[in-house]
Structure 1
Amino acid sequence: MSDTTVTIATYNVNGIKARLPRLLEWLDETRPDVACLQEIKTQDEGFPADAIAEIGYQAIWHGQKGFNGVAILARGEAPVEVQRGLDGEPEDEHSRYLEADVFGIRVACIYLPNGNPQPGPKFDYKLRWMERLTRRMAAISAAEIPAVVTGDYNVVPTNQDIWDPRALADDALMQPQSREAYRRMLNAGWTDAIATHNPRGGVWTFWDYQAGAWPRNHGFRIDHALLSPELADRLIASGVDKIYRGREKASDHTPVWVRVAR
């Protein structure tokens, strides 16, 4: 970590066992201070903590067999867990939320439900989950904590965030209800870091494995980093590590990062 900045990244790895070489490669090449992972797709006991520790990262994780799963990694400091899972639905056993304190910043790693097919129970669950997340973000805001809520939101915020809005017009990622729930987070005072530095859009974080999406650059932006007012004031830079989508056996997502003043 720099004496003056902290870099916080998010990466939907789409299976940590299958992508472990790519994950370690990215961590070694870019050295973020904090890395939030989604879709680790492993039970807690299967998480490769030793391999990650060998390159200098300590980790906490919230796993689930074959699906979902989130983790927070930090270089040079152990993340201190604050909360796992969101309040509001005790029967919800999906591993989609993990929150920790690290380097004086509250870091929440999320894997928001996809919601397809819509309409239907999965879309209803997505919207309820977003409501629960919004309540948690309000509690963090009320404490005036420098915070970032980052991960795979499974929401394309605007038509500027996809190569062709018609391509996903009926998808849960672009429905008015999904977008309105995302806007409510911004209206509550949270800052979309990538949108702040790319006001004209045109920045993608996901390219499907199907239909030649990657070589044709048919992507969209669903991986976001939302900063609380206390942290947004310290925002220096943000970006997308696009090249990692082109690596062999890559995830269909690519890393997103923000750099803030210490």
Structure 2
Amino acid sequence: MSGMPLFLWGVYPYLVLTVFVIVLIVRMRNDPFGWTSKSSEFLEKRWLRWGSLLFHWGILFVVAGHVAGLLIPIQWHRGMGISDEIYHAIAVWAGSLAGLAAGVGALILLFRRLLDRRIRVTSTPGDLLSIVMITLVIMTGMTATLFNGLDHSGFDYRETISPWLRGVLLLQPDPSLMETVPITFKIHIVLAFALFALWPFTRLVHAFSFPLWYLRRSYVVYRRRGHRPSSQSMEKSVTH
């Protein structure tokens, strides 16, 4: 294998991962106050409520499905008693529902950013590019999944894409595994890596800033103005 295929499946992933990791670290160290989702909820709530809800819940299940299908070897599935027929049925139907929810949510967020004047004028090029890329990745992924579900040629991404991706992560890539992969999957993968390259430059970095410390934070004590707390309440607030 040589030329463009070798670059796409043997070099391109490492260029993306290098940019992803280095820029994330640099931005975390040098731009801590810019590490935010820059919420526009105060400008428009109705479309944001539905778009954000559908997108975030849908993408959680999409990511879970990708982990199960790409990072877990096919032998493990069969060892757990999951037949290929059952796996593909779950992947097509559950994956399609999750992808549909995420896709509809992404489209709502995209149209909201384009059609609402206040949102549009406060959006940066990175905001627009990131939501467009997310939408394209979701749509191409759904297209690949649906076409593969309707196609009975016997292609199984767990025997091609999955070992290729695991090889990339283990620094042992085998680009030849991607030779027989349908073009719909190849487009989806190239766009997905492009999204990862864009990720650290945009507001998407907030995905790594989930405030887990909220789960163990101390209680906040509220008192009426002018109210003099008793010694018992002061002791209670100190313990928190």
The question of a shared fold, defined as TM-score above 0.5 by the shorter chain, is answered with no
Higher strand share: 1
TM-score after normalising by structure 2: 0.28
TM-score after normalising by structure 1: 0.26
Higher helix share: 2
Larger radius of gyration: 2
